[in-house]
Chains A and B, each alone.
Chain A
């Protein structure tokens, strides 16, 4: 068995499909590409595919990762080429490299992500107002949201998970950059940050922004492609 790490982009119309949809879509792309997929054992075999961190519905991902296992080795460039040829528009395979079969999982590695949010509707806001709003927001020790759980909701402080947050205004364009805790240990959603920024700190609505995840990193800030 050979294990491959794949870097891909999920954009345009594909940003509206959920993580579960993506799983299905990737499996079908791989089947159409006739890759020699390795399957799990048991009564209900599934291809051995794993992902780094789910992307929220509506958010684009420029630098996403998945691991894929094959029964027989395949040249990396060929794998990229074949998978691209059988993927729907908006799903683009950027690179692939073979990795150690016994190496840590993507889920275990990922710790933080960078996001870029840009407005899709004009706002009247100047650079100073934006910077000031963000500064006041970050000064808070606690930014509490109601997190959905199996039984109702429970309060959660998202402030500690916000590693970095900054913004600039260029004419009518507002650009907000975030670095947030991401993964199974702690996960902060970019929409939550924007939504809470809109609650008294800045006059903005989360629906007016297009959000892109620009990178996924390990705890010591390394690319997921660099470790394996």
Chain B
């Protein structure tokens, strides 16, 4: 194999993707380790290596004496072609073992458009795609991550899903697997034990009947398994393992820096945001602990930048203290501190100014919608005044490039809201012209992504805009956001449409996915690979068309394809939020002290925990 591989590596683009051997990568003794698990990221190395979750699980599994974890990424199309030509199976980076030699393969589900890559990787590993076809000695295929909250379109391909956070769930899985294998239990028996573990969803024990229109007619589960699977969440973020010796890639990856996770979850409650639900409750880490972890990370990695990661780092209670102390401690070593997600207000810009000794080329803000009315609908607690203060501060502090993120196709959107985007962009540019010192380089970039309704959010019942509507809105903006200093970017509507189908679809889409893959679809998130016509064909072969699920309007009383998967949030609360959205009435951030009753803290029996032992008392009866 080595010889064939060497020959192949001489001919593919970026061979460093397939060699491993990075600093802090772990290669344990294969024969002396009882359980071998592969972490499979269904995208290229550069994307996968930017994922903090992988580094966390890699540490936990390799720190155990009885288990090992190795990595595998989706080979880029050139590598796939050569591997298939040479009959080379998909292999792990550390030991260069065929994927089929592992006991467990764990896929991460970060975005819907990576689903065909999962099928492709299973196939490259020589494994049957469908769970029911895999034999006793073949690896168990598990998956987790945000798309695990509606995994129905890929349910027939995966043996078990992990719902929620993996830090503790991974140990439960490994323990159950080890004990049951020692007793020579069959694959089916192991899965049935796993199905009883909190947070584990084994789809083959759950059965759906669908109506002709694709909605759920009946849902039932086998007697031995719980009717509803509740997500796993960590109680205390300071007490779970955090990788302070993460793998340092050699090659240029997307996030090539220290990722210091300051908290998990977000209190804001934007109504379109799935992450806002699935990572709740907010659990902040102790700043002392973070400083200690940062110090270790600097020593162990050699990275020259510390990025404070979370869903909304400027919301972290001790953000000012933490950034100040990090800059004091590591600034002299020429190490930057960075805040990747900035809230659109003056405080955040002030913070960015303090930490970023090096003036980055751009600052990014996400007002998401063009009018206050629509921002109230989506509960984006940002006012035009906030945004103007933020960009004024940014331009006067020397930034000359400001990026603004918006969404089009949001529920209740009208032409006025689109005009609002144009108006805001021009207003921001005008502020720049007024206050910026480098007027020549001044630029405002507007990015408009298309709204995709997601499960477990107040918009889970809402239809997505049709492709034609999205394209009409894009061209509306394209025609108006132009001229000196203005740049307009947008995402391909076709990709958003498929994302919408997969995000709210059901098991009827599994054969479509399979067909799309066999027609050659992979790397669908990459414009150079994406081929909509193949997807259209795949849908057509099953009497469906793209958008059938995305454009669906569910009723509150419908059984949703993900109703058996519990993120802790109460459905009553989501319905209430949905109605409030339609009235354009906002819901306050629970950081303010008043619990809006989403039900997550009570359901999971985990409290919101803020720096200094502060918490927010949940209302007991969630609505």
Contacts and interface: CB of A to CB of B under 8 A. Distances in A.
Interface of A: 12-14, 16-18, 20-22, 24-25, 27-32, 34, 37, 39, 43-45, 57-58, 86, 88-90, 120-121, 206-208, 210
Contacts of B333: 31
B252 A20 contact: yes
B6 A120 contact: yes
B334 A28 contact: no
Given A17-B16, A21-B251, A58-B9, A120 B3 contact: yes
Given A13-B19, A43-B359, A206-B10, 16 more contacts: A16-B9, A21-B250, A22-B250, A25-B250, A28-B23, A29-B302, A31-B302, A31-B304, A31-B333, A39-B334, A43-B358, A57-B16, A86-B23, A88-B250, A89-B21, A210-B6
B21 A28 contact: no
A121 B7 contact: yes
Nearest to A44: B358
A30 B302 contact: yes
A21 B333 CA distance: 21
B354 to A, nearest CB: 16
- Counting chain A CB atoms within 10 Å of each CB, the highest count among B11, B302, B333, B359 belongs to B302
Interface in B1-37: 3, 6-7, 9-11, 15-16, 18-23
Contacts of A44: 358
B252 A28 contact: no
B304 A27 contact: yes
14 contacts: A16-B19, A18-B16, A20-B252, A24-B256, A31-B298, A31-B303, A32-B302, A39-B334, A57-B16, A58-B9, A58-B10, A58-B15, A88-B22, A121-B3
A90 B248 CA distance: 15
A90 B21 contact: yes
B97 to A, nearest CB: 16
Contacts of A86: 23, 302
A16 B15 CA distance: 6
A88 B252 contact: no
B334 A88 contact: no
B611 interface: no
B553 interface: no
B23 A207 contact: no
A161 B399 CA distance: 48
- Counting chain A CB atoms within 10 Å of each CB, the highest count among B18, B23, B250, B251 belongs to B250
Nearest to A59: B10
Contacts of B303: 28, 31
A24 B21 CA distance: 15
Nearest to B256: A24
Contact of B334 (A12, A45, A89): A45
B299 interface: yes
Interface of B: 3, 6-7, 9-11, 15-16, 18-23, 248, 250-252, 256, 298-304, 333-334, 358-359
Contact of B248 (A17, A28, A207, A208): A28
Nearest to B22: A88
Contacts of A206: 10
A24 B252 CA distance: 9
Contacts of A207: 7, 10-11
Contacts of B248: 28
A29 B24 CA distance: 12
A39 B336 CA distance: 14
Contacts of A58: 9-10, 15
Contacts of A121: 3, 7
A188 B19 CA distance: 27
A32 B250 contact: no
Contact of B7 (A14, A31, A57, A208): A208
Nearest to B333: A31
A45 B252 CA distance: 19
A121 B19 CA distance: 20
Contact of B300 (A27, A32, A43, A210): A32
Nearest to B9: A16
Nearest to A31: B302
Contact of B250 (A24, A45, A120): A24
A67 to B, nearest CB: 19
Contacts of A31: 298, 302-304, 333
A13 B20 contact: yes
A21 B252 contact: yes
Contacts of A24: 250, 252, 256
A37 B302 CA distance: 12
B21 A14 contact: yes
Contacts of A28: 23, 248, 301-304
A18 B16 CA distance: 8
Given A21-B250, A88-B250, A208-B7, A57 B302 contact: no
Nearest to A39: B334
Contacts of B359: 43
Nearest to A16: B15
Nearest to A47: B334
A11 to B, nearest CB: 11
Contacts of B302: 27-32, 86
Nearest to B93: A13
Contacts of B15: 16, 57-58
Task: List 8 tightest A-B contacts by C-beta distance, closest first.
Answer: A28-B302, A31-B302, A13-B21, A32-B302, A16-B15, A207-B10, A17-B250, A13-B19
